[in-house]
Amino acid sequence: DADVTQTPRNRITKTGKRIMLECSQTKGHDRMYWYRQDPGLGLQLIYYSFDVKDINKGEISDGYSVSRQAQAKFSLSLESAIPNQTALYFCATSDFGDEQFFGPGTRLTVL
């Protein structure tokens, strides 16, 4: 969905490096989410934010942090990347109680 963009689309990094994944949206939604998807599996919620001043942990927040810089921007950081954080990462946005719109994903490989 072009309304939700993620950068970078692909990233290869080494164990111990700090990585930031960025998400921007033009839908004007207050709610933003970060998910992780492992091969052959569903999406697991890492963090979510209902507005600029609201940050909440999801199912698998350990090893991750987030920053909601503005209504339209929500970034995910891995402070010290480890190999088992190799996965696809998706950002999503929504209005209250409605469907979530997903970005194209970032493929992260940690060596």
Partner 1 sequence: GESVGLHLPTLSVQEGDNSIINCAYSNSASDYFIWYKQESGKGPQFIIDIRSNMDKRQGQRVTVLLNKTVKHLSLQIAATQPGDSAVYFCAETPNTDKLIFGTGTRLQVFP
Residues forming the site for partner 1 (CB under 8 A):
1, 4, 33, 40-45, 48, 56, 58, 90, 92, 96-97, 99-105
Q: Minimum distance between the CB of residue 46 and partner 1, rounded to whole angstroms?
A: 11
Distance CA 109, CA 69 (A): 25
Q: Are 13 and 111 in contact (CB under 8 A)?
A: yes
Q: Which is nearer to partner 1, 17 or 50 (CB)?
A: 50
Q: Which is nearer to partner 1, 87 or 92 (CB)?
A: 92
Q: Which is nearer to partner 1, 19 or 36 (CB)?
A: 36
Distance CA 13, CA 2 (A): 26
> Vertex 9, ends 4 and 104: CA angle to 5°?
35
